[in-house]
């Protein structure tokens, strides 16, 4: 049987009873371990949140510069219809961060970015097809004129050849007009989306990159001030 002053005493039913000072020491050690674990988890969580915020900001900055580089220009009007041209199209940043964008950015912003890129990507692709069809249209029209001129000059020309040339020119013309209408709508909407997205993404900057001083070579300064800076004021 343990003495009264011994560290461990055994009760009547075999239960070990520790002295109060030993229990206090063990409790303190356990509480310290729990606190240390909680603190470690808290630091890790805080670090993770900070890293996500930094990553999200980096993505927004990269997307800002890429979208800013998409020049959607209204080049004039044809029979009352606005005509647009897309220059400088690229989606390298968007593709590079495609897997992270839904996870790191707000859901509404993700939707706006994805629909914008869908429109400008389609427009860029169709713009090339429009240029190709315009070339084909000119060639088909030239061939039709040649055949009709031959008929007018009473040269031997198969009527079916003239009809086929006319059908080809009409088909190309209809397809061209359809694609031009589609691209007109895509770029018209994308232009408004671009303005909104840039305003949203610009909040990541302390100063507006679009308002940075613009410098040109001395020999161009006079023209630049007259045709560019005066319009911006």
Contacts of 68 (CB under 8 A, 6+ apart): 198, 209, 210
Residue-range domain boundaries for the chain: 18-209
Instruction: Calculate mean pLDDT across residues 95-108.
Output: 94
Other beta carbons within 10 angstroms of residue 11's beta carbon come to: 8
What does pTM read for this prediction? 0.65
Cα–Cα distance measured from residue 8 to residue 16, given in angstroms and rounded to the nearest whole number: 7
Residue pair 10/16 in contact (Cβ under 8 Å)? The answer is yes
State residue 49's pLDDT score. Answer: 73
Q: 1 pLDDT band (50/70/90 cuts)?
A: very low
- For the stretch 19-66, pLDDT in tens is 666 666 656 666 566 555 656 666 665 666 788 899 999 999 999 999
Reported for 43-49, long-range contacts at CB under 8 A and 24+ positions apart, including other chains, are: none
Instruction: Calculate mean pLDDT across residues 131-151.
Output: 74
Q: How far is CA 81 from CA 74, 95, 138, in A?
A: 11, 33, 21
């Amino acid at each position: 049987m343990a003495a009264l002053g011994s560290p461990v005493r055994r009760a009547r039913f075999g239960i070990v009873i520790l002295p109060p000072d030993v229990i206090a020491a063990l409790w303190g050690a356990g509480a310290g371990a729990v606190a240390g674990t909680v603190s470690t988890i808290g630091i890790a969580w805080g670090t993770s949140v900070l890293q996500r915020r930094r990553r999200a900001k980096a993505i927004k900055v990269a997307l800002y510069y890429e979208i800013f580089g998409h020049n959607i220009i209204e080049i004039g009007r044809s029979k009352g219809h606005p005509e647009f041209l897309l220059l400088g199209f690229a989606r390298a940043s968007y593709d590079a961060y495609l897997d992270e964008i839904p996870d790191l950015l707000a859901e509404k912003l993700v939707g706006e970015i994805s629909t914008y890129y869908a429109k400008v990507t389609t427009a860029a692709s169709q713009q090339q097809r429009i240029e190709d069809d315009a070339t084909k249209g000119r060639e088909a029209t030239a061939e039709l004129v040649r055949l009709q001129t031959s008929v007018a000059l009473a040269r031997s020309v198969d009527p079916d050849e003239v009809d086929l040339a006319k059908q080809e020119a009409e088909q190309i013309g209809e397809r061209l007009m359809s694609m031009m209408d589609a691209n007109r709508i895509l770029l018209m909407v994308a232009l408004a989306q671009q303005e909104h997205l840039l305003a949203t993404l610009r909040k990541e900057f302390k100063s507006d990159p679009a308002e940075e001083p613009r410098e040109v070579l001395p020999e161009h300064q006079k023209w630049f001030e007259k045709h560019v800076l005066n319009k911006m004021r």
